[in-house]
Each structure stands twice: as structure tokens, then as C-alpha cells.
Amino acid sequence: MSKKLFVEIVSPERELWAGEGDMVIAKTTEGEVGVMPGHTPVLALLAPGAVVRVLGGRENGEVRAAVHGGFMVVSQDNRVSILAEVAELAEDIDVERAKAALRDVESGGLSPEDVESLARAARARSRLQAVGETV
């Protein structure tokens, strides 16, 4: 059994990151899931506005991505694929822009009927969480 996972984070436009990691943590519609080498194969729907973390990625650091829709596929060969509708790596996120977007949406008031505003707020929150901000 390999002691590392091969992880890839991809969107329809491009591969955002690929490399080895010790563990992947992702929020799915069933709850938060941690995947380590030897994990049972899984196909999971990612929760809206999820943050995906790859521990031990980038020379034992951590890779974080804000993911807006998609799937996580864990295969038998220690491969984890994050197939996102839209995804952004933490280092690519403009923090001030995300904060401004969240302020704009929240200042207009969020009602359960306003699905578009709720989705924009969820995207802004996940961007901020991906860079380590508390929201």
C-alpha cells in the first residue's frame, strides 16, 4: 500500500493542482470526509461552497481550494480526484474582493427565496475560509 495519495483538483477550464498528499479533507453533502491512503473507493457530491484541504501537499504543507459544486472520487489506487464545477486555489483568491462581495450580498439582506444571493454569499464565504479567514 502506498503511503501517499495522488490528488488532483480540476475544473472544466484547467487542472488547478496535482500532487501527492497525506490526507484530503472535503465537505460533502453527507458531512466532512477525511481520506487517507488505503481508503475505500468513494464517489461523493461536494457540498456547495466547500473548502478542500490536502494535508502534506506542497512539500508537507497544505493545499486549500474553494470549490463550488462538483464531486470527489476516491479510487482503489490511492487516487483522489476533485472534479469541481468551479474551483480556486487559496493563493489565487483576492481576499479583499471576496470580503467586499460578501458585504454587498449581506447588506441587501438574505432571504431564503433569493437563491442567487445565497449562492453568491456561499461562494464568498468559501473563498474566505480557503484562505483561513473566519466568517
115: confidence class by pLDDT, cuts 50, 70, 90? confident
**128, pLDDT greater than 70:** yes
Quote the CA–CA distance of 111 and 121 in Å, as a whole number.
12
Cell numbers placing 37 = 491512503
**74, pLDDT greater than 70:** yes
**111, pLDDT greater than 80:** no
Please compute the mean of the pLDDT values over residues 30-40 and round it to a whole number.
96
Quote the CA–CA distance of 91 and 74 in Å, as a whole number.
25
Tell me, what's the pLDDT at 123?
81
Tell me, what's the pLDDT at 19?
95
CATH numeric code, 5-90: 2.60.15.10
pLDDT one-digit tens code per residue, 3-15: 899 999 999 999 9
The domains of the chain are located at: 5-90, 94-130
For residue 54, give the nearest of 16, 98, 95 by alpha carbon.
16
Read off the pTM: 0.81
